[in-house]
A and B are shown apart, each in its own frame.
Chain A
Amino acid sequence: MFFAQLPVNEQAILALAAAVLLLTFFMLAHPRILSVINLFAWQGLLLAITTALVAYDAQASHLYISAFLALLLKAFFIPWLLKRMIEKFDMHHELDAVRNPALILMGAGVLVIFCYHTTLPIAALQLTITRNIIAICMAVVLLGMLILVSRDKAITQVVGFMTLENGLFFAAVTITRGMPMIVELGVAFDVLVAAIIFGIFFLHLKQSIDSLDISRLNRLTEKEPD
């Protein structure tokens, strides 16, 4: 089935999924911390729009609540929290440049292809839309992990972590039309608490190592001390 033959709503969902993936690529390579947070907020907004669209498409009223929660948490609260931290620690112009952006981006491309390959057997049984969506969600999850490992600053690592969470949320909404309400609420609660604990952590990090540079956390290893 071709893209144009799908119903309009599904076309829109696919286009939004593609946009989410594209934003994740931008986040991977962007050197400025503030911009990475802004990109993350945009991703949260897209997620909320997609959820509302799926809710309209599937006549699932409980998804409107999820959409609202996503908007509140992912587009406003978490970016606001991170920006407040930046203000507090005066990091407006600080950079967290990835060491080898070209290599990272190529690796990310390979990951996306890998995701499409892994989901091929499922695609053989399903409609085109689900196959694309499963692959894209899996890719966003893996790219979130890539952000986590390629960044050195605590704030950008948290953005990576939350991107991963976004990928999961996107998967739950688009693949399965939302999880049961009790699970959705539980997951949203966990994300909220995680965000607050991350905020507490920034303060601890600042107090103990006077920096938010995670690469300085290297005391606990299995190596023999020199």
Chain B
Amino acid sequence: MDALQLTLGIPLVAMPLMLLCNYHVGGYFNIFATSLALVAAVCVAWQVLNLGPVQYMNGLFYIDAFNVYLIVLTAFVGFTTAIFSNPYMRHEQERGRLGPSRMRLYHASYQGFLFTMQLALSTNNLGVLWVAMEGATLSTVLLVSLYRTPESIEAAWKYFILCGVGIAQALFGTVLLYFAAVKAIGNPEKALLWSELVHHTAQLEPTTISLAFGFLLIGYGTKVGLVPLHSWLPDAHSEGPTPMSAVLSGLLLNVALYALVRLKMITDGALASASHIANPHIAGYLMMGFGLLSFLIASLFLHRQKDIKRLFSYSSIEHMGLMTFAFGLGSPLATFGALLHMTVHSLTKSAIFVTVGHTSQIARTQNMEQIRGIISTQPAVGWGLLIGTMVIAGFPPFGVFTSEFLLLTATMKAMPWLTAPLLLGLGIAFAGLLRAVQPMVYGVSPDGQRAVHVNMWPVTIHLLLVLGLGVAMPGILTHWFDQATHLIAGRGAP
């Protein structure tokens, strides 16, 4: 058994076991399974660090610098969120929002979701990547409707239909890509393999590829949450249980963006050599356009939110827009910044959702106008929420500041006039977040508001990691990001 098989196998085996598991031990078993998977993922990273890009099981799986750090990140956030989810879901059960059988469903779906994420990241086959992305929707849709309120069922229906239709476009794009790839590569069994495609991009037929990229952008873009295909995201985040919001924001959006960037690399390679295509950088420009639009619109929408989870899901759209923009820009510096931003956003946003979950349990509502004085009721949660918000808004010296600074510098170098809307959007988002969070954490707490049982370790570790990444990046991570930048942008960051 090698480490990758374990990384994938543990959640796959744990999924059916969770259905059988008594709900008292389900939460602990969930933590146990995710901790094992994290150890396995770190071993995979160790192998890749020593050996360089590795292919597993006859080329079924392919790990290089770009996906290896996402695999570790996914396993890590999966583990810390499982720690958070145990007391949180127990409390939800005590409030009578769900019964034992639905707790089993919850844990099984949680493991299923982690499996699809790791499969999407590690597979070498772009078709399997699609299957895993659709699998991620299927495994989480029953989680969105877990509470069975009319709102949650509406949110789940929207999520299912919108993401299903969106991801279907990506399958059409994949079929078109396969159509072009079979001609260039010959062997139909190998035509969708990333390790083959990346060496044959110049032979791919450019017109077909550009049409395919259009469909793939719509498809995976829906999952990234790009405006105007984003409307499932705030609904699903606000109505589902909070641990699910944490993993959706922290992991699913990243993995969808990962898929998009891989396909952009192929498209760029195919269009670069084409003489009759008007614009060889069309893929990058499309991503920049959609990214910037999402970024600006989401930062404006932050100001009119009433629900605390909707607020932070719009913040996720905003940051995903920024990353999409940066990958579209495509210079080495922008790519490096975007890779860093993927990491710090994922860590920070999942930490924020943990505190948001506890906050709404303390206040017994998600309506921000009724949440007051969290710091005086339970300082750990209140400060966690405030610091988390400051981090995501881009305060120095945290990692989000560093990556946003890199992205701004890269934009300034490549397209100076785009710096203005970026700065404006960051300012608007900053104001929107702080204005909403300030009265919730300070102020007088209402009568009868009591502290709840919490475990703040996940939040502390995440925020410390983000702080560490902002102050001094460890050598290993810089090395990986450099290699990934080489892969994506073709050159290293200066």
Q: Which residues of A are at the interface with B, using a C-beta cutoff of 8 A?
A: 118-119, 121-122, 125, 134, 137-138, 141, 145, 148, 154, 157, 161, 164-165, 167-168, 171-172, 175-177, 179-180, 182-183, 186-187, 189-190, 193-194, 197-198, 200-201, 204-205, 207-209, 214, 217-220, 222, 224
B168–A168 contact, CB under 8 A? yes
Contacts of B164 in A (CB 8 A): 161, 194
User: Chain B 197-211 against A: per-residue CB contact (8 Å), 1 yes, 0 no?
Assistant: 000000001011001
Contacts of A207 in B (CB 8 A): 148
Which of B126-149 touch A at CB < 8 Å?
127-128, 130-131, 134-135, 138, 141-142, 145, 148-149
Task: Choose, from B26-34, B153-161, B377-385, the stretch at the interface.
Answer: B153-161
Q: How far is the CB of B129 from chain A (nearest CB, A)?
A: 10
B171–A187 contact, CB under 8 A? yes
A182–B165 contact, CB under 8 A? no
Partner of A180, one of B153, B171, B192, B238: B192
B127–A179 contact, CB under 8 A? yes
A219–B131 contact, CB under 8 A? no
Number of interface residues of B (CB under 8 A): 48
A197–B125 contact, CB under 8 A? no
12 contacts between A and B (CB under 8 A): A134-B176, A165-B168, A168-B168, A176-B178, A179-B127, A183-B125, A186-B128, A190-B131, A197-B142, A208-B148, A209-B150, A219-B150
B171–A168 contact, CB under 8 A? yes
A220–B131 contact, CB under 8 A? no
Judge if B188 is at the interface, Cβ distance under 8 Å.
Answer: yes
Partner of B154, one of A122, A137, A167, A217: A217
Contacts of B207 in A (CB 8 A): 121-122, 125
- The 4 A-B residue pairs whose C-beta atoms are closest, nearest first, are A183-B127, A186-B131, A217-B154, A121-B207
Partner of A157, one of B128, B161, B208: B161
Partner of B168, one of A141, A177, A189: A141
A180–B188 contact, CB under 8 A? yes
Contacts of B134 in A (CB 8 A): 187, 190, 194
Q: How far is the CB of A74 from chain B (nearest CB, A)?
A: 15
Instruction: Please report the C-alpha to C-alpha distance between residue A141 and residue B173 in the assembled complex, in whole angstroms.
Output: 12
Residue of A nearest to B141 (CB): A197
Partner of A220, one of B158, B172, B178: B158
Contacts of A217 in B (CB 8 A): 150, 153-154, 157-158
B175–A176 contact, CB under 8 A? yes
B157–A190 contact, CB under 8 A? no
Partner of B138, one of A134, A137, A193: A193
Contacts of A180 in B (CB 8 A): 125, 127, 188-189, 191-192
B175–A179 contact, CB under 8 A? yes
Contacts of A220 in B (CB 8 A): 151, 154-155, 158, 235, 238-239
Contacts of A172 in B (CB 8 A): 171, 175, 178
Q: How far is the CB of B429 from chain A (nearest CB, A)?
A: 17
- A141-B172, A179-B192, A224-B304 are known; give 4 further A-B pairs, CB within 8 A: A186-B127, A187-B127, A201-B156, A220-B155
A183 with B188: in contact, given A121-B207, A138-B172, A205-B153 (CB under 8 Å)? no
Instruction: Please report the C-alpha to C-alpha distance between residue A220 and residue B236 in the assembled complex, in whole angstroms.
Output: 10
Contacts of B179 in A (CB 8 A): 175-176
B142–A148 contact, CB under 8 A? no
Residue of B nearest to A219 (CB): B151
Contacts of B141 in A (CB 8 A): 197
B153–A208 contact, CB under 8 A? yes
A197–B235 contact, CB under 8 A? no
B175–A214 contact, CB under 8 A? no
Contacts of A190 in B (CB 8 A): 131, 134-135, 138
Which of B165-188 touch A at CB < 8 Å?
165, 168-169, 171-172, 174-176, 178-179, 182, 188
Partner of A148, one of B161, B192, B238: B161
Judge if B480 is at the interface, Cβ distance under 8 Å.
Answer: no
Contacts of B189 in A (CB 8 A): 180
Partner of B172, one of A171, A177, A186, A219: A171
Q: How far is the CB of A174 from chain B (nearest CB, A)?
A: 10
B160–A197 contact, CB under 8 A? yes
Q: How far is the CB of A160 from chain B (nearest CB, A)?
A: 9
Instruction: Please report the C-alpha to C-alpha distance between residue A207 and residue B125 in the assembled complex, in whole angstroms.
Output: 41
Q: How far is the CB of A176 from chain B (nearest CB, A)?
A: 5
Contacts of B211 in A (CB 8 A): 118-119, 122
Contacts of A125 in B (CB 8 A): 205, 207
B148–A194 contact, CB under 8 A? no
A204–B182 contact, CB under 8 A? no
A204 with B145: in contact, given A122-B211, A125-B205, A180-B189 (CB under 8 Å)? yes
Contacts of A197 in B (CB 8 A): 138, 141-142, 160
B168–A200 contact, CB under 8 A? no
Instruction: Please report the C-alpha to C-alpha distance between residue A218 and residue B165 in the assembled complex, in whole angstroms.
Output: 20
Instruction: Please report the C-alpha to C-alpha distance between residue A157 and residue B175 in the assembled complex, in whole angstroms.
Output: 24
B168–A179 contact, CB under 8 A? no
Instruction: Please report the C-alpha to C-alpha distance between residue A193 and residue B149 in the assembled complex, in whole angstroms.
Output: 23
Q: How far is the CB of B444 from chain A (nearest CB, A)?
A: 26
Contacts of B178 in A (CB 8 A): 172, 176, 179
A175 with B175: in contact, given A121-B207, A122-B208, A201-B156 (CB under 8 Å)? yes
Q: How far is the CB of B452 from chain A (nearest CB, A)?
A: 26
Judge if B301 is at the interface, Cβ distance under 8 Å.
Answer: yes
Q: How far is the CB of B111 from chain A (nearest CB, A)?
A: 15
Instruction: Please report the C-alpha to C-alpha distance between residue A195 and residue B148 in the assembled complex, in whole angstroms.
Output: 19
Instruction: Please report the C-alpha to C-alpha distance between residue A165 and residue B235 in the assembled complex, in whole angstroms.
Output: 25
Instruction: Please report the C-alpha to C-alpha distance between residue A207 and residue B149 in the assembled complex, in whole angstroms.
Output: 10
